[in-house]
Structure 1
Amino acid sequence: MNNNRKKLVVPMLIIGTMYAVLGFSIGINAFFIPFVQEAFNISTAMSYLIMTATFSAYVVFGVPSGAIIKKVGYKGGITVAFLLIAAGFFVIGYAAQIVSFLLFLVALFVVGMGQTLLTGAINSYVTILGSPESAASRICMMGIADKLAFAGASLILARFMDLANIRLTDVIIPFYIITGLLIVMGIFAFFSPLPEIKAIGEDETSEDTIVSVYANSKTSIFQFPHLLLGIVAIFFDVGVEIIALGSINDYAAILKLPSPQHYVWYVSAGMVIGYLVGVSFIPRYLSQHKALILSTILGVVITLSIVLFPPAISIYLVGVLGVTNALLWPAIFPLALADLGRFTKTGSSFLVTGIVGGALLPLLFGYVADVASHQLAYLVCLPSYLFIGYFAAWGSKIRTARVAATPEIVTPL
């Protein structure tokens, strides 16, 4: 057991750096929304096209990313992802140089393509790297790196770009430097000692792999109901996560609280706490199913409390949603990928298309906030948690009996 844990250390450290890159590349959006309003002299509504440009790539490039991973493997897919993100960051610098908001959006779409490929590759890799029962715990570890980098993106960019004195020229050199760093990291990823692993039943020619009877009886990815329901669960999961992270500063500003721009740290801190709970309790004390069910129950309770409690209290409850949301993705992803066998890589690419919920649900939240109130808008989260609860209790179990199997590389935590 100890030997197996030692084998996990190097791959997890390498993948952890890739989660950090993913978190940073998504975190720049939160900084850019106020930046581009003044830099390009556009409206607030137009500035949110930044989110649309990034997250729409998950729908457009989700399925093709699976084909890439299937063709070149996880390491090759990660390398291509880094190069795509690097290309997008380079174009961001060039768009600032020629002052083109349209090219800026195109650049963010390219970055989103890289994020799509990287998300599918590293989450699938961590899921099948060790014991299936501890997959959520491993993803929680990676989530800490992701969220710290997400929050750190604004701190790093703020050293180069002053929101109080916005100049497009400040974008050029930092993003050219980041481009070079990402190219180096892509090359490192390709030559890194990451083992090329496969999911249970994925290698149909291997005599050592006990192939899943369930997966072998299928001819199409659309014949896995638990995967299809998992895509919807991911849609709602990312939606509520982005709502909590993206709305709390606005809520603080509406309430005229001091330093409203710092309130997002309550949500980020809550998510890190949630991840630490996942690392400590899954699977030793909680199964992935139970952890997901408890998270959704807490999500329903907190959402209703946000609406019912006085605003001065409810804003801190939005921070508690970070704790609730932390275990959603780590539990949903492995449960939806379970027993896909040779369809695993394709399944992960379909799962990441659900991330578009991060673009659509916040728009619904904003509409309700306009026509009703910011506090009541959090009710948008309620059906999301209810569906994820359904997926946890029943939807993720809609599959037939399977042969017990062990992956080619077994490294349980």
Structure 2
Amino acid sequence: MKEQKNFLVPMAFLGLMFFTCGFALGINSLLVPVLKVSLSVSSMEAYMLIGATFLPFLLFGYPAGILISKIGYKRTMAISFGMFAVAFGAFIFSASEKSFPLFLIASFICGTANTFLQAAINPYVTILGPTESAAKRISMMGMINKLAWPVSPLFIALFAGASGSVGIDDLGKPFAVIICLFIILGVVALLSPLPEVKAAGEDSDNSDEDDQEVSAYANSKNSIFQFPHLVLGAIAIFFYVGSETIVLGTLIDYANELGLDHPENYSWITPICISIGYITGIILIPKYLSQTRALQICSFVALVGTSLVVVLPGTYSIYCIGVMALGCSLMWPAFWPLALMDLGKFTKKGSSILTMGLIGGAAITVLFGLLKDVTNTRYAYGLCFICFGYISLYAFKGYKLR
């Protein structure tokens, strides 16, 4: 049985890292409208920035798991922050050259850093304490992560001057500050008092009967792909990350399209709604609400929210995106414990497979941009209905398969 420890300090460090992930992704949502104006690119081309950020999850998700197995969680986290610093240096160079291809390369480097960081921090939070309360811990981290999304465009806006309009020439100074912060975070991650943790059944010497049962099940498998609930969970994450990236990353662009004043202010709609869901999960899970039931309820809410966004006029539908965000809130916290359950010695490889599912943030958002160009933003949100439909199937059936 896992030894009970005080995880307050490790959770504080992890919270800082989750904030970093959200902040970096928030930068991309800001770059979409900025580059559309400054470099005269189409919507699909602009959303390729978000796609380039998520492509590394497919390419480096599995190698990230191998790296974690060899050097541990802490060193992997430190390396990822170094990559973030390089990425934002590339952003500064891209802005000075006013080159869209260079922005894509910088976004790819940023996504690579995010891949290694996500592969380390998500399973770490999952196995840091009891499995049944993993969704509660991830909800805490997720709330910090999502609140960081709107902070980044507001931070950049501070350097925009009296006009309040962010242009490509305004990116240099704030990005230089961000580089310094990432270097500091890399050192902090390396020196932080994060304990080494292992999942149930991952330690062959563990004498706990439940852990031995998990080990026996996992040892009967020869490949990570012999766990159907894991593979289906990775596909669910694919659809979830794609739809959530649309929900969180397109509000500013949508507000601009509707001609609303101060569109950056609307970026707070989804983080507030998603935080309400996170707070609900923190309070109710696991005492009053199981992780499974939370996923089932949230998938239904997300489907309802998507329908409202597509059906209602734009000035009303932009607020209904908050309902979609509320539905997204407890999906991510539930996926990890449900999909990693019973993996034993395959846990680290399993986490890398789940991390690869984040490629949905590239595929789904690029498809969203294409649909937006041929229809409009409101109808393009209908793509999320397919995503949430699959997630609903996983919530009721897929996670049970063994």
Q: Same fold (TM over 0.5)?
A: yes
2:270 is aligned to 267
Report the RMSD for the aligned CA atoms in angstroms: 2.3
- Asked if 1:316 is matched to 2:316, the reply is no
1:193 is aligned to 193
2:392 is aligned to 389
Report the CA distance between 1:292 and its aligned residue: 0.3
Residue pair 2:134, 2:333 contacting (<8 A) in 1 also = yes
Deviations 1:110-156 (A, max 9, x none): 11111001111111000000111111111110011111211101111
Residue pair 2:157, 2:166 contacting (<8 A) in 1 also = no
* Counterpart AA for 2:7: L
TM-score (norm 1): 0.89
Percent of pairs identical after alignment?
44
Q: Provide closer, same or farther for how the CA distance between residues 133 and 368 of structure 1 changes in structure 2, counting only shifts above 3 A.
A: same
Aligned length: 395
Instruction: Give the Cα–Cα distance (whole angstroms) in 1 for the partners of residues 369 and 272 of structure 2.
Output: 24
Report the CA distance between 1:342 and its aligned residue: 1.2
2:51 is aligned to 52
Instruction: Give the Cα–Cα distance (whole angstroms) in 1 for the partners of residues 376 and 34 of structure 2.
Output: 26
Q: Provide closer, same or farther for how the CA distance between residues 208 and 134 of structure 1 changes in structure 2, counting only shifts above 3 A.
A: closer
Partner SS state of residue 263, structure 1: helix
2:110 is aligned to 111
Instruction: Give the Cα–Cα distance (whole angstroms) in 2 for the partners of residues 252 and 300 of structure 1.
Output: 22
Q: Which runs of 5+ in 2 are unaligned?
A: none
Residue pair 1:227, 1:336 contacting (<8 A) in 2 also = yes
Q: Provide closer, same or farther for how the CA distance between residues 96 and 305 of structure 1 changes in structure 2, counting only shifts above 3 A.
A: closer
Instruction: Give the Cα–Cα distance (whole angstroms) in 2 for the partners of residues 302 and 91 of structure 1.
Output: 37
Deviations 1:260-311 (A, max 9, x none): 4422211111111111111011111110100000111112222223334444
Report the CA distance between 1:103 and its aligned residue: 3.1
* Counterpart AA for 2:390: F
Residue pair 1:161, 1:167 contacting (<8 A) in 2 also = no
- Asked if 1:215 is matched to 2:218, the reply is yes
Residue pair 1:90, 1:176 contacting (<8 A) in 2 also = yes
Residue pair 1:274, 1:326 contacting (<8 A) in 2 also = yes
* Counterpart AA for 2:80: A
2:61 is aligned to 62
1:291-370 counterparts in 2 under 5 A?
291-370=294-373
Residue pair 2:285, 2:291 contacting (<8 A) in 1 also = yes
2:171 is aligned to 171
1:23 is aligned to 22
Q: Provide closer, same or farther for how the CA distance between residues 224 and 9 of structure 1 changes in structure 2, counting only shifts above 3 A.
A: same
1:93 is aligned to 92
Instruction: Give the Cα–Cα distance (whole angstroms) in 1 for the partners of residues 370 and 46 of structure 2.
Output: 16
TM-score (norm 2): 0.91
1:226 is aligned to 229
Deviations 1:303-343 (A, max 9, x none): 22333444443332111111111111111122111111111
* Counterpart AA for 1:379: G
Residue pair 2:33, 2:252 contacting (<8 A) in 1 also = no
Instruction: Give the Cα–Cα distance (whole angstroms) in 2 for the partners of residues 361 and 248 of structure 1.
Output: 16
Deviations 1:327-368 (A, max 9, x none): 111111221111111111111111111112122223333444
- Asked if 1:123 is matched to 2:122, the reply is yes
Residue pair 2:10, 2:194 contacting (<8 A) in 1 also = yes
Residue pair 1:266, 1:316 contacting (<8 A) in 2 also = yes
Q: Which runs of 5+ in 1 are unaligned?
A: 400-413
Report the CA distance between 1:47 and its aligned residue: 2.8
Residue pair 2:52, 2:108 contacting (<8 A) in 1 also = yes
Instruction: Give the Cα–Cα distance (whole angstroms) in 2 for the partners of residues 127 and 15 of structure 1.
Output: 12
